[in-house]
Structures are given as structure tokens and as C-alpha cells.
Amino acid sequence: MAPTIREAAPGDARSLAEIHVRSWQVAYRGKLTDDYLDGLLPEDREERWREVLASPPEAWRTWVTEAEGSVIGFATTGRSEDADADRRTGEVYAIYLDPEAVGTGIGRELFAHAVEDLRERGFHTATLWVLETNTSARRFYETAGWRTDGATTSQRIDCESRPTIRYRAVLA
């Protein structure tokens, strides 16, 4: 059965928390400290996901991709939260897949869906932030046509101050 994409519901909170933790533990190994990654627990993120899905911040949408009845990835989109963004700039806040789904094309489909969501809501440009050392994610975004725009920060990772860079794409 082909994967499907739908808007997330509060009942997806546990699955999102598990994917969030597993994907970080794989994707950020060697980029963040092992102690931090090994200490991540789905239980610590589940309640926050339940809250966000039950009452999302304004303009946020979270999409899940399912295969054979199981959530295997998610993406969250909304209005850019960057200080230099205008009201027509959207943002892909997050996109994560179960590590076993990476490289299958599912991530490309989910990312395209998230970007199309922003386009349909009238955003003319979109941004996203990525850990500077995450070369595989950077290749993924560049293959999709996104480019760095010169903005950098070390405040985007919720655990350690690590350089992150912003990517941008024109949607209109």
C-alpha cells in the first residue's frame, strides 16, 4: 500500500514523539553530544505534541505520512517566525522520518506536500533552518531547489548551541 499524507491529530502525538526522538538519535549522531541524544525519550516530547496537535499555534499545520496504518514521518509548516520575515513568508519548521523510511522517497513526497501547503495558503517564499553540519539534510533541501540565504544562528537547536543555517525557496 502506498504511503498517504494527512493532517495530524492529537492521537498521533505518541507516534510523532517516537519519530522525533529516533530521527534525532540517528541524524544528529556525531553532530550533537551522545549524552544528549541517548537521553532523549519519547515520553518527554509526547505531551508537548499532544498539546500542539490539540491546539496548534496560529497558522501551524502538522502533516503525517502513513504506511500500512503506521505513522512514519511528519512535517510542520506555518508562518515564518524569523524577525526579518514578512507576512508572506512561510516556514517548514520540521520534517522528520522514521530512520527506516529514509532514502525511500517518502521524505521527498512529504516535503513537497508541506511546501505545497504553504503555497496554497498564499505564502510567496518559504524558509527552513538546518544544522550546518547536517550534510545529508542540506543535500535533500538543495536537491529540492532550496538555497541558503546567508542567515545563520546558533539558537535553533533546543539542546546545544550549534550553528544552523537558513534555506529559502520562492513559492509564487
User: How many structural domains does the chain have?
Assistant: 1
Residue-wise pLDDT for 95-116, tens only, equals 999 999 999 999 999 999 999 9
Name the residue range of residue 91's domain. 4-125
Per-residue confidence (pLDDT) for residue 109, from 0 to 100? 97
Does residue 53 register a pLDDT over 90?
A: yes
Q: Which residues pair with 147 in a beta bridge?
A: 168
For 23-36, the pLDDT digits (tens) are 999 999 998 889 99
Identify which of 88, 96, 154 has the alpha carbon closest to the alpha carbon of residue 127: 88
Residue 14 belongs to a domain with what CATH number?
3.40.630.30
> Is residue 161 in a domain?
no
Q: Is residue 70 part of a domain?
A: yes
Q: Does residue 135 sit within a domain?
A: no
Average per-residue pLDDT for the chain: 93
The stretch 7-23 carries a mean pLDDT of: 96
**Is 146 inside any structural domain?**
no
Q: How far is CA 129 from CA 7, 95, 109, 149, 163, in A?
A: 22, 11, 19, 11, 10
In three-state secondary structure terms, 131 is: strand
State the pLDDT confidence band at 159, using cuts at 50, 70 and 90. low
Domain membership flag for residue 141: no
On whether residue 37 sits in a domain, the answer given is yes
